[in-house]
Every structure is written in C-alpha cells, then in structure tokens.
Structure 1
Amino acid sequence: MNELKLLLPNHISTLYQQLDSNVLLLTATSFVVWLIWRVVYGRLEVLAERTSFHWDNLTLQALKTPMSTLIWCWPATISIGFLLQQQMGSKLNWLSTVKLILVIAIFLWFIMRLINNVEEYVLEQKKRDETTVQAVAKVARLFFLTIGALTIMQAFGLSLSGLLTFGGVGGLIVGLAAKDLLSNFFGGMMIYFDRPFKVGDWVRSPDRQIEGTVERIGWRMTIIRTFDKRPLYVPNSVFSNIVVENPSRMLNRRIYETVGVRYDDGSKVEKITEDIKTMLKSHPDIDANQTLIVNLNGFGASSLNIMVYTFTKTVNWIRYQEVKQDVLLKIIAIVADNGADIAFPTQTLKIDPTSLGELEG
C-alpha cells in the first residue's frame, strides 16, 4: 500500500492522506461513490436486459450487494481505525490486515452469490442433470472457500508451507478418527460423478430393503422417500457395497402373461395366437421393435397355456397399467371371437360303472 502511495501524483497522494484521516470527508466520499455506483449499476442493468446473454445479468445481480457493502465498509474501517488511533495515540499496524480481510470476504461473498445464481438459472432451464449441477456448484463453493481461508491465514502471517505440513499430519489423524465420515464423503463423490441415479429417480436395491424416490443427494447421506412416504436416510458409503437398480432408466416395460384356453378349444389355439400377435404388432402403445412372442407354451392342469411376451413404449408405471389392461381386454375379445373361452380350474371325475353298481347293491 505504501508503494502505491509513492507512485501516485502529489495532489492525489495528498487527497488520499486526507481521506485516510478525515472521518467526515470519508463518509461524504463514500456517499458520492455509492450514488455513482447506483447510477452505473442502473445503466449496466438496462444494457444487460437488452442482450440475450444471461450470464451478464447473473454477474450483475451477484455484484450489486457486495459492491455496495464494500463502498460503505471500506471507509468505515478506515474511520474506525483513525478514531482508535486518536484515542490510543499510536499507529494501528493491524488496520491494513483488516482491510485485506474485508476485500477477501467481499470477493468470496460475490463468488458465492454468483455460484448460487448460476446454479438456480441452470436448474430452471432443465437442460442439465440436476444432480451434476448441484455437485459442480458444491465443489466450486468448497474450492473458493478453501482458497479464501488460506488467503486469510496468510494475511494473518501464518506460513502456508508449515500449515500444509501440519495439515498432512493432522489429516492423517483426522482421517483415522473420521473414517466413516470420509467414506460417506467419497461415496457421495462417487454418486455425483458415476451418476447411478439422480434426484427424482426411482431406485431400489435387491441387497437391502431400499426402494423409493431420491429426494436429495448430500455429501454424507442420500434421502430416499419410500412409496408409503417414509424418508430413508442412507449413508453414501452404503452404495459402494450394494447393487442399485434404477427402474427410472428403463427403455420399456414388459408385459409377460400366460393365457389359459380350454382343452376343448385346442383346434383354435393356432388362430388365437396369430390374432393376438397381429393385435400386438399394430397396437400403438406396444413397441414392435422389441421382443414379441405369442406361442402355445405348455399343457396346464386344466388349460392350454399361451405365453404373451411383449414390451410397452411407455415406462410410466400408471400408463403401463392402462396399456396392459387394454391388451388383456383385447386378448379376451380375440379368444371370444374365435369361439373359444378362457379356461378356469376344473376337475374331471371318472366313475367306474362296476364300482358304482357294487356301491348301489
């Protein structure tokens, strides 16, 4: 700061010294600068609204409050330091450190607001994966907060090399003590980058009693809402050791049914299977490009079993049930149109007439 004063012209340096020691002049200058900033911000806002580029709006919104705070807090810090120097009668060496910390804090505040604005804007567009956007935003916040903390420590005179050395030893101790916490943290990182599921997906695990809709993926745990509306709080490390099924990413849903026809209608089975297959191929909600099988599959206890194996175009569970119902009703109609009937469990009892005569005698 002193080197900067030497580079300034004499009249500007004199004005700077007056500003640095006159509370009233500092306050008046702050007010004037704030008014200029408000006018400049208003003009920039109008120009940003005219452009189709949204990032300038997000940057201006993030900069508005931090810049106003800096305009008032910087002179206020100098004024408070000047008043304390007058009372104590000695120069305050820590004042320059406070100014530097103020600038760092304002910069971090601006960056955090910018990250929040960008995150909200990208999520509103719904063109990017929600989980990935949130993960990138969290990593960005963590990165800048870490850099800011290290810069503030250096401003206080702490040696970063010594701090990093201590951090290596301390990190080993903390890692051993917080093994579960770290495993959950890295489990969350695995979910963010591998993306086996995202917020809003329906997931389930055959290894554990976990099934429901993902509500939130945190650094330590994932919140899953079950279908009976109970929340499940699952530590992220669990997902490293279990199989996770994601039905939300299905391409199709399967209809796999067995239709039983009476043995008396055996001569009509071939025509029935052909009609069912034709109906499925022409059905608007059936994906004919997937496997489609309609065949006599076996002899049941009281029916000739026809296997119906096909896939719907929709993956929505409610819509799937509607399509499945429509297909089954059409199959019933096809069986009836061929003069056949759906079988139901029956038993045939054969009585030997000789034995019947002995019983009557």
Structure 2
Amino acid sequence: MDKWLTEIQALPVWKNWDNSIVLITFASLVLWISWRLLYSRLYILTEKTRVDWDNLLLHALQTPVTVLIWCWPASISVGLLLDDMVESELNWLLTLKQMLFILCFIWVFLRLIHNIEQHVLSTKKRDETTVQAIAKIARLAFILTGLLSLMQTFGLSLSGLLTFGGVGGLVVGFAAKDLLSNFFGGLMIYFDRPFKVGDWIRSPDRNIEGTVERIGWRMTIIRTFDKRPLYVPNAVFSHIVVENPSRMLNRRIYETIGLRYDDAEKVSRIIQDVKTMLETHPDIDASQTLIVNFNAFGPSSLDFFIYTFTKTVNWIKYHEVKQDILLRVMTIIHQHDADIAYPTQILKLEPESSGSSEGHVFHPQG
C-alpha cells in the first residue's frame, strides 16, 4: 500500500496539475471580468437605441453566459485532474461539457421568450391570451428540443426514442385521457379564441359566469361577480355554450311605459317627441334599430315601448345612459300635461236594500 501511494505521488500530475488549474481559473476570472465590461458597454449602447429587442436579448444572455464562463473551465480542470489520475478515457467529461452547452443554450432562449412576453404584455397593444399562448408553445418547443438533444448526447438513438415515444404516448394517452382532453381544450381556447383574459363570460348550460382571470393548459380561472374564484377544466368548454357579453357591439334599452287613459289624445305627440329625443341623443346609436310605438291597451294604462341601443357596452355607463333616457321620457310626458299610469281598480258596490235601485261606484287609486 505504501509503495502504491509513493508511485502516485511521484506522478508528474502532482507536480503540475495545480499550476494548470490555477491558470485555467485565472483565465476564467479574466474572461468573466471582460464579459462584465463588455456587458456594461453593450448595455449603454442598447439603452440609446429606439428598439427594445436588443435590450431583451442582452438581458437574456447575462446570467447564462456568466454560468458558462465559470462552469466550462471548471469541467476542463476536472478533466485535467482526473485524466492524469485514471488511465481509462473519461468520456463522461465530454458529455458533461455538451450538456452544459445545451442547457445554457436552452436557458438563453427561455429567458428571451419570457422577456419578450413581459415586454409585449406591458405595451398592452396585443391580445394577452394570444401572447401567452405563443410564449407557452415556444417554451414547450425549446424544452422538447433540449431534451432530445440531451438524450442524443447520452448516446440514445432518436429514431428508436421516437418509436418508443409513439407506443408510450398511446399508453399514456389512455391513462391520462382527461388530462389530454383538458390540454386540447386549452389549445381550442387559444386558437378559436371564444374569450380572452379579462372578458366577461357566462354559460347558459352551466352555472358559470364571471371575468376570465387566467387561461392555463389544464384549467381556466374565472372570477365570479361575488369575487369567488371558479376553476373550470378546459375540456368543459368543448361541449358547452359560452356567451361572451364583453364582445357586444351595443347594449339594448327595452322599456314599456304606460300612460293614463285620460291622456289618450296626447299619446301620439308624446311618442313622437320621445322618438325625436332618442334620435338626437348623443349616447344612442341611431344607426341601430330604434322603435317607439304604442303597443297595447293595458288594464289601467295605454302602453308604449322604447326599443333602442346605446353606443357604450360598459355596464356602468349603460345604466347611466338608461337613467338619463328614462328621466327625459318622464319630462316629455309632464310637458304634455300627462302622467305615467299606475295600477287602479274600479269597485262597484251593489245596494244592500231591495228598495234601493241606485248603486255606488268607487274609484280607489293606488
């Protein structure tokens, strides 16, 4: 045993390996300092440009390049040390270097995709759902590419791997059909775009109504109007009817108003003035259907209806416009010395005594 240790200590590696590793480490330090100086200079230059893509790319490169500068020479140092100590060829060191390069390459693109996604969403010029869908698909594509490259680095045959993946995918598909149905349901939402993040949606088939907060690969999060989160699997949207009120072009005002029977001769003039008011109202879309007509003889009123559309689709603004319309209608009715009818009843009281032939009629109001 002592003789074996003596022979190991007499090897040239124990005399020179420390100098080689120190030199590599020093070179890594110099390279890292150079990269920091170059990054600072490039950062100043990119800040002066009008485009933002160079900033996003430079930020994506910062950390992966730094990791590569330190880890790549470290793997070389480990190779120098162990290659002299062990007589067999260490192919795993070459594999480690290739893995490091592939991982850093994928890391750069994932950071770049994230930066671009956040930049596009911050500008608010693109549809949020579409941007997130494209970013997720791009991440998935690069991750799969990286995994296949790593497997090939380990010596696995891609053709055999793909064949096995086809058979294995069939088995996994049967075992996780619900998960896959949710995944493809998410793809359907992304490509068909029946709704997007921020839309108010509801389903007549299910008790689903609220604002879409997030569309994931497996489920969609909807915030109901009483502020409760609703988690809906994406597969549900493939077989239910979804209504999207957020995409309405107009909101409808449909009201029936009753006039007193005593104001029968004033009905036509009131209807004409109300129609003129609606046609000139700044918040009413006169290009849409606009109807003001006498509609029915009610039990205690002469009914006419208003059917028109507002320009706004905002729920709060719509009710403000509707309130203004109804107040103006009431003002027009009063200008014609008429009034809005309210339920009345006429009671006929029969005389109690047979000798009296005169009846009494009572007209209560209210």
TM-score (norm 1): 0.91
Write the mapping of 1:1-361 to structure 2, written as runs, cut at 5 A: 22-351=20-349, 355=351, 358=354
Quick one: which amino acid aligns to residue 161 of structure 2? L
Could you tell me which runs of 5 or more consecutive residues in structure 2 were left unpaired when the two chains were aligned: 1-15, 358-366
Corresponding residue SS for 2:303: strand
Change (3 A) 1:30 1:359: farther
Contact 1:21 1:82 in 2 (8 A): no
Quick one: which amino acid aligns to residue 211 of structure 1? E
Q: Distance in 2 between matches of 1:47 and 1:226?
A: 48
Corresponding residue SS for 1:53: coil
Deviations 1:207-258 (A, max 9, x none): 0000000000000000001000111110101001001000011111110000
Deviation at 1:76, TM superposition (A): 1.0
Change (3 A) 1:359 1:265: farther
Q: Distance in 2 between matches of 1:359 and 1:278?
A: 59
Quick one: which amino acid aligns to residue 276 of structure 1? V
Corresponding residue SS for 1:52: coil
Deviation at 1:359, TM superposition (A): 7.4
The number of aligned residues is 342
Deviation at 1:89, TM superposition (A): 4.8
Corresponding residue SS for 1:358: coil
Deviations 1:70-104 (A, max 9, x none): 00110111212333334445432210000000000
Deviation at 1:347, TM superposition (A): 1.1
Give RMSD over aligned pairs: 1.8
Q: Distance in 1 between matches of 2:356 and 2:84?
A: 131
Q: Distance in 2 between matches of 1:357 and 1:184?
A: 81
Corresponding residue SS for 2:341: coil
Q: Distance in 2 between matches of 1:102 and 1:78?
A: 12
Q: Distance in 1 between matches of 2:19 and 2:334?
A: 101
Q: Distance in 2 between matches of 1:240 and 1:191?
A: 9
Deviation at 1:357, TM superposition (A): 5.2
Q: Distance in 2 between matches of 1:107 and 1:202?
A: 41
Change (3 A) 1:237 1:20: farther
Per the alignment, residue 364 of structure 2 pairs with none
Deviation at 1:19, TM superposition (A): 10
Deviations 1:113-151 (A, max 9, x none): 000000000000111000000000000000000000000
Q: Distance in 1 between matches of 2:299 and 2:216?
A: 54
Corresponding residue SS for 1:94: helix
Change (3 A) 1:329 1:87: same
Deviations 1:2-42 (A, max 9, x none): xxxxxxxxxxxxxxxx9999211110111111111112112
Could you tell me which runs of 5 or more consecutive residues in structure 1 were left unpaired when the two chains were aligned: 1-17
Q: Distance in 1 between matches of 2:137 and 2:183?
A: 12
Quick one: which amino acid aligns to residue 188 of structure 1? G
Corresponding residue SS for 2:354: helix
Corresponding residue SS for 1:98: helix
Deviations 1:293-346 (A, max 9, x none): 000011111111111011111111011111111110111111111111100001
Corresponding residue SS for 1:200: coil
Corresponding residue SS for 1:222: strand
Per the alignment, residue 360 of structure 2 pairs with none
Per the alignment, residue 4 of structure 1 pairs with none
Q: Distance in 2 between matches of 1:204 and 1:256?
A: 22
Task: State the identity %.
Answer: 67
TM-score (norm 2): 0.90
